[in-house]
Structure 1
Amino acid sequence: MSPPQLTRRSLLVGALGIAAASGLSGCVANNGPRPSTAAPGSKADIGEVEGTLRFAFWGGSDGETAGFAKIKKDFEARHPKATIELQTLPYDGFFSGIDRGILSRTAPDVFRVDYTSIGKYTSHGVLLDLTPYLSAAESSAFLPALYDAVRFEGRTYGVPHQTDTSAIAFSRKALDEAGIRSVPDRLDDAWTWEEFASVATKLRKSLPDDKYPFAYDWTAAGAYRWASFLYQAGGSLLTPSLRRSAVDGDPGRKAMAFTQRFFDERWVPANNTIKTTVYSDNFFLNQTVAMTFIGDFLVPELADTTNGYQGGEWATTYMPRDRAAASDLGGNAVVATRDTENPELAAAFLKFLVEADQMRDFCQLANELPTRKDLADTALDYAVRPDVMGVFTQQATTITETAVRETVVPGFASINTALQDQLELAFHGRGTDASVRAIDGAVQQAVSA
């Protein structure tokens, strides 16, 4: 049976409830009240612009590349005297290059930034203040939680371009051979931790010794996704003030004990560690695992007829749940540097990026989720495997208010680095209690830095 269609309006807005529906301005660190009218001195009506703008982003899927190429073409058609130079760079080293450019004043005018990294830029005064360039209608066009992700101390420093989250891709053949006949096709029926453990155990027994039940997507900069299990257990990384670690508690110990079973019971490959060079999608593509946790942006890669998954039919299902369902906040904003020589051109380009038609077209090409309210109830025509994208759309409604608040704090990059170091040790023999205490201390140090 096909899952019921949840409206896209439930993405984050519905998931966060009344607080999100009325705006998270009082919940996200240092985010002041959202203005209801344009501020005095508004520059929202930019008009015609001209000049050259450098836009840097990391190389993603072919769909993302095509999406940005279309945006360039359409913007230049609207503004014939403007030129957008697209700079496609590797993700590894992307932000260190941006940082060096900001210090030397040679940074690109506009660059892409993920929500886990944006806090360090909004809090250090290196971005163009977009507040005067946005009308009240433009400011209120976004899903509230994601709009708050680009704000700091009441000012807006970018536009939330798209979002993504994790779900599970699985091989139908592998599950059938293990006797797993029922896979959740509704969010409300997602496997509990106990049910997920049972599925992993059955797969472990049915698979050859060199094959494994699943791989997780916590590698490298994705270490923060481990917190999804912490949220599912009813815990959080930080206290409500966002100033102290909250990992050392019963939910933290429960989440740690459960995820340590991934290695203890050989549910994941031994090299599916935090600091491995092999990502979760690669384990699935080479058929080392029967299931994998992936973000929706990887669907085109798995579906590629030449280099994609060759193990037969595959589909998607939901993240497991414990006390609650929860998933990670992924995706990216686009920002302009404070030192851009043409702030009006930069602002005009950012506003153009997130117009409804442009966002819809980009997300459909890239298999990603939009951030505008008026696209929330729109069924998008995804370019690749629209049949599996509904799972990610529904899964995104489980991104908790806590996850949003914690992911966009200014020091989150340091928190993520702390998780990388400590989770690596936790999955290589350190006991549960010691692991939780170590993570708690490292997160507290990151928050206090």
Structure 2
Amino acid sequence: MTAPRTTPGTTTAPPASRRALLGAGAGLTAAAGLSACSGFSTGGSSGSSSSAPDELTVITWASDAERPAFEKLAADFAAQGGPRVRLQVVPYSEVLTAVDTALRTDSPPDVFRVSYTDVAAYRAQGVLANLPDTAELERAFLPAFWSAVTDDEGTFGVPHHTDTSMVLVNDEAVASASLTLPRTPEEAWSWEQFADAVGRVRPTRADTYAVAVNWQNAGAFRWLNFVDQAGGRLLTEDLGAVAEDDPGMLKALTFSRDLFRQGLTPPNANARGQAASDLFLNQTVAMCFAGDFLLSEIEGGGFGYSATFLPRDVNASADLGGNALVAVQDSAKRDAALDFLAFCAQAQQVGEFCAAASVLPTRSDVDPAALDWVVRPDLMELYVQQAREIRTPLVEQVVVPSFSAINTQLRDRLDEAFLGSDDDATALRKITDGVQSVIDA
């Protein structure tokens, strides 16, 4: 069975109420015969936004695969009687600046796309609208993702999709090392087996390294995968302080620094360096940690590659990737914005977006095996299994209101640790001191 399709001859329905849209069983069917741009217009590339009375403004970043998927959401929403949607696409590195600028200049977007790790910061500032009537919708979503947009005060967005990391491997390099890749999460390499595997990889050319991990820039939080795998924590269980002298965190730092100390990863694969997927694409590394959303780009690399699961230690653990869609509390069109969020969160729309954009559904009633994945369905099936290893204790730590600033500290302090000469305990203390300074601010 495939994801539901548009049915020829369907007539445009009147706009549904927000209560009806938020019901988990709404299952709206889009009208047929509409082009991807119907009901859709393109805004500028940056800066503040303004929209006509009969249209919504959505600030987002979008890959080449995601943009048409967003365009289809906009077209289908308009076909159901909703307002036009003006999509303002900005580079990923500029999206928060674009949103913040629009908020400061009193020209806020109606909706914006935001990483789960940033939702709480905007919620704490009173920026986000609280979704009403969410009881049925909540039951349709997997708990870890619903918790990323929900706190004691309410629900402040919809968990649109998720993604996570796996280990991509150059097939030629795997063959040269006679590696057998684990094919189930239960068979995933232990840390010791992973270290043995990357040590056996033979370069495809003289300047090739074994592996790069995707902790660059805004991905510094992915280092916490290793911490969680080792049974450690960055934050205490009450989330109110840094977990000082945590043995799992020290073990994770030693393990990750050894990749640099042993020459298994290039120096520019540090936390502020070149993206791991870029190093894999240009064959500087034979293996890389990469999210499923990158598959469409990696497909153009011109070489064969496969995927296997993240290594495991005390725990199997995977990073919480993906994004929420949120409505702005002070938008003059808040009700229509909430309607759009509710529309995007329905099973049909979630399934179609995920299949087109190579990301993973957050709804429990969307069967990943039934989706028509556009890119590498064989690997997407593995990513679906990997996402089941996203653990709630790790999710709780990366969705605290101050996590954007914590992530910046992680990036800077990890960069110093990976390329510096401090002993591991001293390097870890600098990381925890930096994080604690954010909590104390």
> Do these two structures clear the TM 0.5 threshold for a shared fold by scoring above it?
yes
Separation in 1, partners of 2:76, 2:261: 53
Q: Which residue of 1 aligns with 2:387?
A: 396
Quick check: 2:317–2:390 contact (8 Å CA) kept in 1? yes
Matches within 5 A, 1:201-212: 201-203=199-201, 208-212=205-209
Quick check: 1:178–1:206 contact (8 Å CA) kept in 2? no
Separation in 1, partners of 2:169, 2:114: 30
Separation in 2, partners of 1:206, 1:441: 38
Larger RCO (CA within 8 A; separation ≥ 6) = 1
Opposite residue 437 of structure 1, the aligned amino acid is R
* Distance change in 2, residues 1:51/1:139 (3 Å): farther
Instruction: State the Cα distance separating 1:380 from its structure 2 match.
Output: 2.1
Separation in 2, partners of 1:335, 1:135: 14
Q: Which residue of 2 aligns with 1:153?
A: 152
Q: Which residue of 2 aligns with 1:366?
A: 357
Q: Which residue of 2 aligns with 1:22?
A: none
- Work out whether 1:445 is the aligned partner of 2:437: yes
Equivalent position to 1:70, from 69, 72, 76: 72
Q: Which residue of 1 aligns with 2:308?
A: 317
Tell me, which stretches of 5 or more residues in structure 2 are unaligned? 1-16, 23-52
Instruction: State the Cα distance separating 1:407 from its structure 2 match.
Output: 1.2
Matches within 5 A, 1:42-441: 44-45=19-20, 51-60=54-63, 62-79=64-81, 82-130=83-131, 132=132, 134-180=133-179, 182-203=180-201, 208-276=205-273, 278-303=274-299, 308-311=300-303, 313-376=304-367, 379-429=370-420, 430-441=422-433
Kindly provide the CA deviation profile for residues 365-412 of structure 1, in whole angstroms up to 9, marking residues without a partner as x.
001111112115753221110001122111111111111101111011
Separation in 1, partners of 2:193, 2:264: 14
RMSD, matched Cα: 1.7
Separation in 2, partners of 1:383, 1:262: 34
Instruction: State the Cα distance separating 1:140 from its structure 2 match.
Output: 2.2
Kindly provide the CA deviation profile for residues 226-272 of structure 1, in whole angstroms up to 9, marking residues without a partner as x.
01000010001111100011152211111111111111111111111
Separation in 1, partners of 2:438, 2:268: 27
Quick check: 2:227–2:248 contact (8 Å CA) kept in 1? yes
Separation in 1, partners of 2:73, 2:203: 48
Opposite residue 338 of structure 2, the aligned amino acid is A
Quick check: 2:18–2:339 contact (8 Å CA) kept in 1? no
Instruction: State the Cα distance separating 1:136 from its structure 2 match.
Output: 2.2
Separation in 1, partners of 2:367, 2:333: 33
Opposite residue 145 of structure 1, the aligned amino acid is A
SS of 2:84's equivalent?
strand
Q: Which residue of 2 aligns with 1:33?
A: none
Instruction: State the Cα distance separating 1:74 from its structure 2 match.
Output: 0.6
Matches within 5 A, 1:16-35: none
Task: Report the TM-score, using the length of structure 2 for normalisation.
Answer: 0.86
Separation in 1, partners of 2:146, 2:203: 46
Opposite residue 98 of structure 1, the aligned amino acid is V
Task: Report the TM-score, using the length of structure 1 for normalisation.
Answer: 0.85
Kindly provide the CA deviation profile for residues 308-346 of structure 1, in whole angstroms up to 9, marking residues without a partner as x.
1223x2110001111111111000000011111111111
* Distance change in 2, residues 1:51/1:288 (3 Å): same
Separation in 1, partners of 2:18, 2:375: 39
SS of 1:87's equivalent?
strand
Quick check: 2:141–2:362 contact (8 Å CA) kept in 1? yes
Q: How many residues align?
A: 394
Kindly provide the CA deviation profile for residues 126-185 of structure 1, in whole angstroms up to 9, marking residues without a partner as x.
11121x2x34212322112211211233311111100000001101111111232x1111
Q: Which residue of 2 aligns with 1:30?
A: none
Separation in 1, partners of 2:189, 2:138: 38
* Distance change in 2, residues 1:135/1:116 (3 Å): closer
* Distance change in 2, residues 1:417/1:233 (3 Å): same
SS of 1:374's equivalent?
coil
Quick check: 1:169–1:291 contact (8 Å CA) kept in 2? yes
Quick check: 1:46–1:344 contact (8 Å CA) kept in 2? no
Separation in 2, partners of 1:139, 1:174: 44
Kindly provide the CA deviation profile for residues 212-238 of structure 1, in whole angstroms up to 9, marking residues without a partner as x.
001110000000100100001000111
